[in-house]
């Protein structure tokens, strides 16, 4: 057992939630003939306390995602060292240095300027930073992410930066109460990954897509990383959620 760091949350059974999600991942893989280990479950722990993260680590979860640098900086040192961290939010240039220190992967890179800053900061700490490029698959004005055409236009320049490694693409499709509605966006992201691979002449291993409501469909469409928060941890406090989502 990891140390408990505060009040308990008896209403959430973390290991049961984790098992159910793993079963859904396995079932989705079987449906499309994929190996279960081809999908990484990223537990999105934003707004949840270290003790919940401890409970999930105890249950066998390894990868966690955070979307706020301040929160991650305070929280990560209080969590088990076995936990591995990926950044999944929108990054501002003044937070890049912290992000490079705290995280082993930065998802959500959405401009050449940020990619350059990541490369520069990584160089200063003698690191190479794996990144995923965020794509605005539905062209929503309210969302971050590259427009597909712009990504294809800038891809070679991104790829030439010395201290980043492009591992693939990520997207947050428009919210829909029916998971099936997200399928065309997942297909679009997969198609764009193929276009990028053709342009680069090299494979991109990762497709980060699918959240609590639709990760099964995302896996059927080729997701290699699913980012699951609510289905693992329960609801986030609504005030926090409004500020973040
Ligand atoms: C919050 C968040 C998630 C998890 O969303 P849930 O619906 O709670 O599973 C996934 N990806 C990103 C980028 C997020 O910000």
45 CA to middle of ligand 1, Å?
Answer: 9
Could you say which residues of the chain have pLDDT below 50? 1-8, 239-245
Confidence at residue 10, expressed as pLDDT on a 0 to 100 scale: 55
201 CA to middle of ligand 1, Å?
Answer: 31
Domain architecture of the chain: domains with CATH: 39-211 (3.20.20.10)
Confidence at residue 11, expressed as pLDDT on a 0 to 100 scale: 80
CA dist 180 and 165 (Å) reads: 32
Confidence at residue 238, expressed as pLDDT on a 0 to 100 scale: 52
**CA-based nearest residue to 132, from 173, 193, 63:** 193
The residue with tokens 């890049």 is 96
Which of 40, 44, 66, 244 to mutate to test ligand 1, by most ligand atoms within 8 A of the CB atom?
44
Dihedral (CA of 20, 43, 80, 85) sign: positive
The residue with tokens 């966690």 is 64
Ligand 1 pocket residues where CB is under 6 Å: 44, 46, 67, 88, 172, 211-213, 227-231
* Closest atom, ligand 1, to C-alpha of 232: 9
- DSSP H or E stretch at residue 168: strand 164-170
Residue whose Cα lies nearest atom 11 of ligand 1: it is 227
Confidence at residue 9, expressed as pLDDT on a 0 to 100 scale: 53
113 CA to middle of ligand 1, Å?
Answer: 25
Confidence at residue 236, expressed as pLDDT on a 0 to 100 scale: 87
Instruction: Quote the tokens at residue 218.
Output: 């995302």
226 CA to middle of ligand 1, Å?
Answer: 9
The HSE-up count of residue 105 (CA atoms within 13 Å, CB side) is: 24
**CA-based nearest residue to 3, from 70, 55, 76:** 55
Length of the chain: 245
CA dist 216 and 29 (Å) reads: 9
The pTM of the whole model exceeds 0.85: yes
8-state DSSP, 2 = P
Confidence at residue 242, expressed as pLDDT on a 0 to 100 scale: 46
């Amino acid at each position: 057992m990891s140390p408990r760091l505060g009040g308990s949350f008896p209403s959430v059974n973390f290991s049961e939630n984790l098992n159910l999600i793993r079963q859904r991942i396995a079932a989705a893989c079987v449906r499309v003939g994929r190996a279960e280990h081809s999908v990484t479950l990223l537990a999105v722990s934003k707004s949840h306390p270290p003790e919940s993260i401890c409970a999930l680590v105890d249950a066998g979860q390894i990868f966690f995602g955070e979307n706020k640098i301040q929160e991650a900086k305070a929280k990560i040192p209080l969590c088990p060292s076995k936990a591995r961290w990926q950044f999944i939010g929108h990054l501002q240039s003044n937070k890049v240095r912290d992000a490079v220190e705290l995280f082993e992967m930065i998802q959500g890179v959405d401009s050449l300027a940020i990619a350059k800053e990541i490369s520069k900061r990584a160089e200063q700490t003698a690191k190479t930073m794996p990144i995923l490029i965020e794509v605005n698959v539905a062209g929503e004005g309210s969302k971050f992410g590259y427009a597909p055409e712009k990504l294809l236009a800038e891809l070679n320049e991104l790829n030439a930066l010395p201290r980043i490694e492009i591992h693939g693409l990520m997207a947050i499709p428009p919210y829909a109460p029916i998971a099936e509605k997200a399928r065309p966006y997942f297909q679009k992201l997969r198609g764009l990954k193929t276009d990028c691979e053709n342009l680069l002449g090299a494979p991109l291993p990762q497709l980060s897509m699918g959240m609590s409501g639709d990760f099964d469909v995302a896996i059927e469409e080729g997701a290699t990383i699913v980012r699951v928060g609510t289905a693992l941890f329960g609801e986030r406090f609504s005030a926090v959620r409004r500020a973040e989502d």
